[in-house]
Structure 1
């Protein structure tokens, strides 16, 4: 048995190997004692590992700065630029999850094991309950992977600043692994669902046009709300997407305009039908302004609920109204963003190249488009299967079984004009007698030609030739 080197740490036998063990304080999540452990093949190697572990604990116990996690995050917020909506989300995560557990702890005392345990417990219950003791009091509700990943981003970003500002030497969050991001599974509405919601929405032409424009352009909700008439060139059939509308507590209206996501400004071409709809909408809007004794400004918003169209329609209003519409029509997805999925998948399925689709959507690259909008693959995969099948030369096969021989002879007779398109084949009974086979064998041969698209088969009638077989390459 290896001897102890002191109360803070020791080396112990671990089977045929040696393990260095160092006391690292109490776990702030459970209150239990925590130990750092490292196993080595020899006692000498274990002594080296013990020294390293002791040094790691000393670095955490006596950091260059005693700054707490809460204070460090506050300082990070002061220097890090975030969109207002992102900042609001981050502040909520800090208040509800990070501060209650780590807020008063010195930032230098965090380590990867502690953070990964924290992430794992959040994914089991967002209240970090002890499931064995709290089963009666509440039902555990896990925190989503995306929220846990945002918490990790907050910790990693703030700890990185701490290292840069020499508060401590190691960014523990950089060593920890957050949960994997769940793969996006877009669920665009089908053609039948789109027809249903458009037919109902067009009872209000403004609302119908808004949905139509999302499907045609694939723009984001905030981008559509921010479109002004000065962004629309009806003569050149162009629409500019240069801004986005989002919520803001600092604005008197509760809204503010910002750059589009990824700073991807774009000018999209419109089809003649959509241009006609926009012209009619503009005339109707101008008529409403005239009735109110006002003149519509050049930079008025295309979609607005105010009489003079001076303010944009609220993004939340669009989302809530679409959700009610989707529920009434029993759509699979009630998310307004599904219409953007629909635009992307229909364009890709229709054969539009990936670069063009990516540009219309405002993605940084085609890889982003494929990663999030893959619902088109089933249809295009079928087209690809047909294409490659038609390009490959057909092998010359010799029929072996009775039904194959009958189908081969009938196919050949159709091809050479013995049975032209529009004519009927002999009765099944006549074919049975000729080939001396069972009735079921004849039916099997006829159904094979039917499946190849050469015959139309109706019960009680002779099979009718409807197509000539395609010559093999």
Structure 2
């Protein structure tokens, strides 16, 4: 055997014992792409009886991660990941400034020094919990929260600190920042997975626009018009719904006072003291039609700007900004200054609002006026064909829909009279063949053609007489049974229950005037109107006879007397006669159709 064959294969990775007795497992994982130094995967196994076995398991696991490229290839921290990610971020200046602010204040102090490969979802969830506790990340001890840092004279704006949670929308943006950074780290092969995807940020808050009321809008305009230039900006924000950056970037070449059209194509982004002119938020140019009052307001503003420029011997060009602090309009207003001035103006007159609410005011007023959603979305610059508009202004859209429904109802013709149903409908408008047969037989009983106790034709005979199927004839007899006019037993022919004078008190169809009357037109009439009841006859021995239906008025008990006489004579012919001396031996239970408990018990 050669020396090479006998030589043992070198073991990858090492296990070293530390002075504490713990074991350190080290596996080589290549060169760190950030520091350009050796990168090792290290895991410490606490001392114990099975420490050697667990250390060997850890070595094999780390080797498998390296072999399958599932290990983090760098010992870089979250701070280093954010530095590189934000340096390569291709978003707008405003977005980048926002991300940097969030990272400096809410991310780096907590997880900035954690290695990118060691960050787990539970740590991120703990970070979100801390952000929901206090946006200032206080330690729970009371302190005075000053309005500014450095030396200053305290006023009412300085006071005891009160913990306020960070807004859910802000926490979600921090989540998106971290998720984007880790997705980029996966592409760079710094890590093999994204732990942020397993963390749970707060749910997306429902849009809750709070536009100023009409009276507040009028008050804001009156206050703003003390400075006509400032009043023009507030007026334009209110009527066009333009964003503050779009108003600051507006130039006179974008305003066509002849045809009354405003073109919004640029916006001013601000990062601290630095500004940048860029595309609009949705990168779309839009044309907004101006009303006559707005055209007049802008015409007056142009005349003022032109007069100021002429006084200084300069010419106001079309490239000049519409809103500027210099006579020639060569510089634009700062978006933050516009927001601050509007907030101070609102506080001065006691209205709790901010500049962006003027955009909400424009949208809600358009919706209230009945303007379609696509047009509103176009004026506001919402993308998605109105999806954003529907989501943000759902409450106002619902109110406009209610007004539209009321307007439509006022133009509709009068609704048809109430349709009869049940027994009344069959008697007034028999439709099916079996209904027509039942109504015709009922008329024969009422006319006295069939006396009480007399047999009706058989089902087969009825089928031949009316040229229908036997099933149709059977359904007609079932209808007469429900009306209480006949009695049918299995294997027996139908027998008439009531004589003609008594039968006339049974099912009576309502007249057209009764059916047209609204149920609430007359409460007294509704209470005393006859209707269908279920009645049960109780004999002197306590026997209860089969349940029947009767059409009568419960407020007039005597309207049930004829029914009880007829039923007793049919059910107990040996105990009754043509007189009424026996009537006090019987009782009549009256119940709602389908009800079990009697509503009234009558005895004469």
Fold in common (TM above 0.5)? yes
Match among 161, 183, 193 for residue 206 of structure 2: 183
CA distance in 2, matches of 1:79, 1:401: 73
Counterparts of residues 83-232 of structure 1 (less than 5 Å): 83-126=92-135, 134=140, 139-232=162-255
Whether contact under 8 Å (1:244, 1:257) holds in the other structure is yes
Matches of 2:265 and 2:75 in 1, distance apart? 46
Question: Residue 325 and residue 175 in structure 1: after superposition, are their counterparts in 2 closer, same or farther (change >3 A)?
Answer: same
The CA distance in 1 between the partners of 2:341 and 2:142, in whole Å, is 39
1:135, CA displacement in angstroms? 5.1
Q: Which residue of 1 aligns with 2:338?
A: 318
Q: Which residue of 1 aligns with 2:486?
A: none
1:142-165 Cα shifts (integer Å, max 9, x gaps): 222222212211211111111111
Aligned to 2:78: 69
CA separation in 2, counterparts of 1:56 and 1:118?
A: 28
Q: Residue 362 of structure 1: CA displacement?
A: 0.4
| Counterpart secondary structure, 2:276 | strand
1:342 corresponds to which of 356, 361, 381 = 361
Does residue 272 (structure 1) correspond to residue 295 (structure 2)? The answer is no
Q: After the TM superposition, which of the residue ranges 341-350 and 392-401 deviates more from structure 2?
A: 392-401
Secondary structure of the equivalent of 1:357?
A: helix
Alpha-carbon distance, 1:342 to partner = 0.7
- Aligned residue pairs total 354
Q: Distance in 1 between matches of 2:408 and 2:318?
A: 54
Counterpart CA distance in 2 for 1:139 and 1:57 is 51
Question: Structure 1 residue 237 and structure 2 residue 260: aligned?
Answer: yes
Cα deviation digits, residues 218-245 of structure 1 (max 9, x gap): 1111101111111111122211111111
Once residues 306 and 298 of structure 1 are traced to their aligned partners in structure 2, the CA distance between those partners, rounded to angstroms, is 15
Structure 2 distance, partners of 1:233, 1:348, is 26
- Give the deviation of 1:375 after TM superposition: 4.5
Structure number having the greater helix percentage? 1
After TM superposition, the runs of 4+ consecutive aligned structure 1 residues lying more than 4 A away are: 54-62, 127-130, 135-139, 387-392, 399-406
State TM-score, norm by structure 1.
0.67
Q: Which position in structure 2 is the counterpart of 1:281?
A: 301
Question: Is 1:293 matched up with 2:313?
Answer: yes
Does the Cα contact within 8 Å between 1:223 and 1:241 map onto a contact in 2? yes
The alignment status of 1:328 with 2:337, answered yes or no, reads: no
Contact 1:345 1:375 in 2 (8 A): no
Query: CA distance change for structure 1 residues 59 and 90 in 2, over 3 Å: closer, same or farther?
Result: farther
Structure 1: state its 5+ residue gaps. 1-6, 9-23, 27-32, 34-50, 407-473
2-structure distance, mates of 1:257, 1:387: 46
Describe the SS at the equivalent of 1:262: coil
- Distance (Å, rounded) in 2 between the aligned partners of 1:76 and 1:91: 11
The answer as to whether partners of 1:186 and 1:374 remain within 8 angstroms in 2 is no
Partner of 2:269: 246
Residue number in structure 1 paired with 2:495: none
Q: Does the 8 Å contact 2:267/2:279 carry over to 1?
A: yes
- TM-score normalised to the size of structure 2? 0.54
Radius of gyration: which is bigger?
A: 2
Deviation, 1:83, is 1.8
- Secondary structure of the structure 1 residue equivalent to 2:277: strand
Name the CA distance, whole Å, in 1 between partners of 2:376 and 2:293.
Answer: 20
Task: Indicate if the aligned counterparts of 1:399 and 1:405 stay in contact, CA closer than 8 A.
Answer: no
Question: How large is the RMSD of aligned CA atoms in angstroms?
Answer: 3.2
1:395 shift after superposition: 4.7
Deviation (angstroms), 1:99: 1.8
Q: 1:368 to 1:400 in 2, by over 3 A?
A: closer
State the secondary structure of the residue aligned to 2:263. strand
Q: Distance in 2 between matches of 1:342 and 1:165?
A: 46
Change (3 A) 1:127 1:216: closer
Higher relative contact order (CA 8 A, sep 6+): 1
C-alpha separation in 2, matches of 1:203 and 1:95: 41
